[in-house]
Homo-oligomer: A and B are copies of this chain.
């Protein structure tokens, strides 16, 4: 290179850098200064928010940056600017960048926390949110709906963010397509870490929703790549794709109780994703398929053990000429080159068929149309414990072409028409959760357009050497399924520091109330024998264990008249062991707040006695318990038992995910011992969960016709109980369609357990 050329190059580079830098950082310390900075904003500006707490700020960031000179809004130090209180942010204009902010201890005063538009005419395009954290920025009232990131416009991006802990109604991230300004958007949702989203108890708890039922014809082209979805348990849909031409690639779904669902819209590409379940959960799903033209390739499913909606690959039946908001038939779908390791019946067809419910549902709800022109080829299934039914079919499978799939078990499904070949295949573990076959099976089927599958899950070339399954050998050294460096910010970790839980000894002469307040989350209050007078409600807003120091001499909590013993607050986690709770029939043993139950609580009772209460547990409408567990406990002489029946909107929501009552005794509970309700015909609500086993119920229910109400609860196990001398007509009504039936109960003079095959419910749509 000549000296002139070198000089010129250096000059150009310097000039370019200079242009990009604008006039140096514009530092702002107040919302007033920030607004002024926005007013004067020009391309290249670098607006810096001073470290500290920014409380109750509604940021409206309008600016016209350029590709070369965006306008940036950032924290002085990444993570040191916290947006708190009633705060939100709207963006409008071109080429804006927001980075390094930390949203916590707050909630949005509007329907969204961050939106890529200011109003219907001031829309953001080519703009970006990066390296930010949104943590539990959830509404006080769980019933209030919002979303945290609302995409509008085109070419916007959310990347390298950590987002977790949304408990209220509404998808965490939404892409809107309402209007030509927002279609063909090519938004990028990449390299984020979606941390745990708690179980919500009903629908509207998606982590990501793209479009809605009105946009099932709309081209979106949203790209969702290289994200980690960690325990996104909000509802049965982790991602709900409701528009066309979206791409989901190289994401990791880690122990998330739901599926990537192609709910509305068509021609999605799902490539190279990883779905990781475990041995303990049947709730962790994979991909659920509705509609037309999807390509599902190179995905890796590990220990996905769910059924139907929660199976690794759930292919639904459709409604004939479906209304816009119901289920279109599945057609023209390709599922190729996927690997399933230790999944149970990973391929499930005609999920949701309900032809037998013609009598209780209108025609527009009957899913009778089977998948058509569906190609399932070159997939690999390996099970350490042989699984002879790789396929579960809920209807005839006559529209699926099975080609060159291999598995290591004998295929006893009678639907595959020789498209499954049993091989003596072996797998090697390469890294955590990653198992690969020890040889390439190269006899691949070449279907229409299969030449477009040019890479494997690890982006190795398939065009020279190809193999059945998600990967082509050899696998590069140090290959992992989940590289945590890829996801989230460069400054935040959601790995909680080690807790030093303490055991605090309490005597009956101590101020128990005060000690409880001062205890840290995780601490144990160990009560010396004696009687503890409780004159005001014990507030549980953290993880607290209350136990008796001496199991043989249980501490007695004597509750004052009309005082509720325990008041359960959001995130309260109460463990009671070996304690006696005594009321005088005027109070509740456990109660939630009446409102603002923003997050879930848990209640565990073990080896205890609860007696003489008006109500054992009473909850408020907006409250939600993740788990209520009662073990080895006696409950007696009370008016009401556990009342989890306040969510009566009948839109699929309910008040508790798990209710587990085992080895316990109920005696002289006058009304329902349990009332647990979920209303609304919603095929995609798959909770709650009730286990009632090895209990004894006596002399209870005389004030109601039925002992146990469990209307609409999907998973119910009533087994090995003894019901004796309960003056009721009915012990419980089970829901036949959901496979509920009583098992080995001993019933004496106590009415009967009935089964109703098809529950009549209020239609939600």
Residues of A within 8 A of B (CB): 178-181, 183, 213-214, 216-219, 244, 265-267, 291-293, 321-325, 328-329, 331-332, 334, 364, 373, 448-449, 765
Chain B contacts of A324 at CB under 8 A?
321-323, 328
- B293, B322, B323: the one contacting A218 at CB < 8 Å is B293
Known: A180-B332, A217-B293. 14 other contacts (CB 8 A): A179-B332, A179-B373, A180-B373, A180-B449, A183-B293, A183-B332, A214-B331, A217-B265, A217-B266, A217-B292, A218-B292, A321-B324, A321-B765, A364-B364
Q: Please tell me if the beta carbons of B323 and A321 are within 8 angstroms of each other in the complex.
A: yes
Nearest CB of chain B from residue A327's CB, rounded to whole Å:
11
Complex alpha-carbon distance, A679 and B291, angstroms: 34
Knowing A267-B219, A323-B364, A328-B324, the reply to whether A334 touches B293 (Cβ < 8 A) is: no
Chain B contacts of A332 at CB under 8 A?
179-180, 183
Complex alpha-carbon distance, A324 and B321, angstroms: 5
Task: Quickly give the copy total for this chain.
Answer: 2
Chain B contacts of A217 at CB under 8 A?
216-217, 244, 265-266, 291-293, 328
Q: Please tell me if the beta carbons of A321 and B328 are within 8 angstroms of each other in the complex.
A: no
Complex alpha-carbon distance, A448 and B180, angstroms: 8
Interface of A (DSSP majority class): loop
Complex alpha-carbon distance, A331 and B449, angstroms: 33
Chain B contacts of A325 at CB under 8 A?
321
Chain B contacts of A181 at CB under 8 A?
448
Q: Please tell me if the beta carbons of B180 and A334 are within 8 angstroms of each other in the complex.
A: yes
Complex alpha-carbon distance, A216 and B331, angstroms: 13
Nearest CB of chain B from residue A212's CB, rounded to whole Å:
11
Knowing A218-B293, A267-B219, A364-B364, the reply to whether A321 touches B180 (Cβ < 8 A) is: no
Complex alpha-carbon distance, A265 and B217, angstroms: 8
Chain B contacts of A218 at CB under 8 A?
266, 292-293
Complex alpha-carbon distance, A580 and B347, angstroms: 79
Chain B contacts of A265 at CB under 8 A?
217
Nearest CB of chain B from residue A353's CB, rounded to whole Å:
19
Q: Please tell me if the beta carbons of B364 and A293 are within 8 angstroms of each other in the complex.
A: no
Nearest CB of chain B from residue A318's CB, rounded to whole Å:
10
Complex alpha-carbon distance, A364 and B765, angstroms: 13
Q: Please tell me if the beta carbons of A213 and B183 are within 8 angstroms of each other in the complex.
A: no
Chain B contacts of A373 at CB under 8 A?
178-180
- B214, B292, B322: the one contacting A323 at CB < 8 Å is B322
Nearest CB of chain B from residue A385's CB, rounded to whole Å:
36
Chain B contacts of A213 at CB under 8 A?
321
Complex alpha-carbon distance, A485 and B244, angstroms: 41
Complex alpha-carbon distance, A291 and B321, angstroms: 16
Complex alpha-carbon distance, A219 and B265, angstroms: 12
8 closest cross-chain pairs (CB), A and B: A321-B324, A321-B323, A321-B325, A217-B266, A180-B332, A323-B323, A179-B373, A181-B448
Chain B contacts of A244 at CB under 8 A?
217
Nearest CB of chain B from residue A660's CB, rounded to whole Å:
39
Which residue of chain B lies nearest to A375 when distances are taken between CB atoms in the complex? Answer: B180
Chain B contacts of A292 at CB under 8 A?
217-218
Nearest CB of chain B from residue A217's CB, rounded to whole Å:
5
Q: Please tell me if the beta carbons of B323 and A293 are within 8 angstroms of each other in the complex.
A: no
Nearest CB of chain B from residue A185's CB, rounded to whole Å:
13
Nearest CB of chain B from residue A179's CB, rounded to whole Å:
5
Nearest CB of chain B from residue A733's CB, rounded to whole Å:
31
Nearest CB of chain B from residue A646's CB, rounded to whole Å:
30
Which residue of chain B lies nearest to A215 when distances are taken between CB atoms in the complex? Answer: B292
Chain B contacts of A323 at CB under 8 A?
321-324, 364
Complex alpha-carbon distance, A213 and B329, angstroms: 12
Complex alpha-carbon distance, A266 and B215, angstroms: 11
Nearest CB of chain B from residue A532's CB, rounded to whole Å:
58
Chain B contacts of A322 at CB under 8 A?
323-324
Complex alpha-carbon distance, A217 and B292, angstroms: 8
Complex alpha-carbon distance, A265 and B216, angstroms: 11
Nearest CB of chain B from residue A243's CB, rounded to whole Å:
11
Which residue of chain B lies nearest to A449 when distances are taken between CB atoms in the complex? Answer: B180
Complex alpha-carbon distance, A382 and B292, angstroms: 45
Chain B contacts of A364 at CB under 8 A?
323, 364
Complex alpha-carbon distance, A180 and B293, angstroms: 7
Query: 22 A-B pairs, CB-CB below 8 angstroms?
Result: A178-B373, A179-B373, A180-B293, A180-B332, A180-B334, A180-B448, A180-B449, A214-B329, A217-B244, A217-B266, A218-B292, A218-B293, A219-B267, A321-B325, A321-B765, A322-B323, A322-B324, A323-B323, A323-B324, A323-B364, A324-B328, A364-B364
Chain B contacts of A321 at CB under 8 A?
213, 323-325, 765
Which residue of chain B lies nearest to A181 when distances are taken between CB atoms in the complex? Answer: B448
Chain B contacts of A293 at CB under 8 A?
180, 183, 217-218
Complex alpha-carbon distance, A214 and B373, angstroms: 13
Chain B contacts of A178 at CB under 8 A?
373
Nearest CB of chain B from residue A634's CB, rounded to whole Å:
52
Chain B contacts of A214 at CB under 8 A?
329, 331
Chain B contacts of A334 at CB under 8 A?
180
Complex alpha-carbon distance, A373 and B324, angstroms: 19
Complex alpha-carbon distance, A219 and B364, angstroms: 26
Complex alpha-carbon distance, A657 and B624, angstroms: 66
Complex alpha-carbon distance, A324 and B292, angstroms: 13
Complex alpha-carbon distance, A322 and B364, angstroms: 11
Chain B contacts of A449 at CB under 8 A?
180
Which residue of chain B lies nearest to A326 when distances are taken between CB atoms in the complex? Answer: B321
Chain B contacts of A183 at CB under 8 A?
293, 332
Which residue of chain B lies nearest to A123 when distances are taken between CB atoms in the complex? Answer: B448
Complex alpha-carbon distance, A244 and B322, angstroms: 18
Nearest CB of chain B from residue A449's CB, rounded to whole Å:
6
Complex alpha-carbon distance, A244 and B179, angstroms: 17
Complex alpha-carbon distance, A292 and B219, angstroms: 11
Which residue of chain B lies nearest to A180 when distances are taken between CB atoms in the complex? Answer: B332
Which residue of chain B lies nearest to A245 when distances are taken between CB atoms in the complex? Answer: B219
Nearest CB of chain B from residue A127's CB, rounded to whole Å:
17
Chain B contacts of A328 at CB under 8 A?
217, 324
Complex alpha-carbon distance, A332 and B244, angstroms: 16
Complex alpha-carbon distance, A332 and B448, angstroms: 34
Which residue of chain B lies nearest to A121 when distances are taken between CB atoms in the complex? Answer: B448
Complex alpha-carbon distance, A323 and B366, angstroms: 13
Complex alpha-carbon distance, A448 and B321, angstroms: 34
Complex alpha-carbon distance, A183 and B323, angstroms: 23
Complex alpha-carbon distance, A29 and B183, angstroms: 56
Nearest CB of chain B from residue A116's CB, rounded to whole Å:
16
Complex alpha-carbon distance, A321 and B763, angstroms: 15
> A324, A334, A364: which has the most chain B beta carbons within 10 Å?
A324
> A216, A217, A244: which has the most chain B beta carbons within 10 Å?
A217
Complex alpha-carbon distance, A137 and B180, angstroms: 44
Nearest CB of chain B from residue A175's CB, rounded to whole Å:
16
Nearest CB of chain B from residue A701's CB, rounded to whole Å:
42
Complex alpha-carbon distance, A475 and B307, angstroms: 68
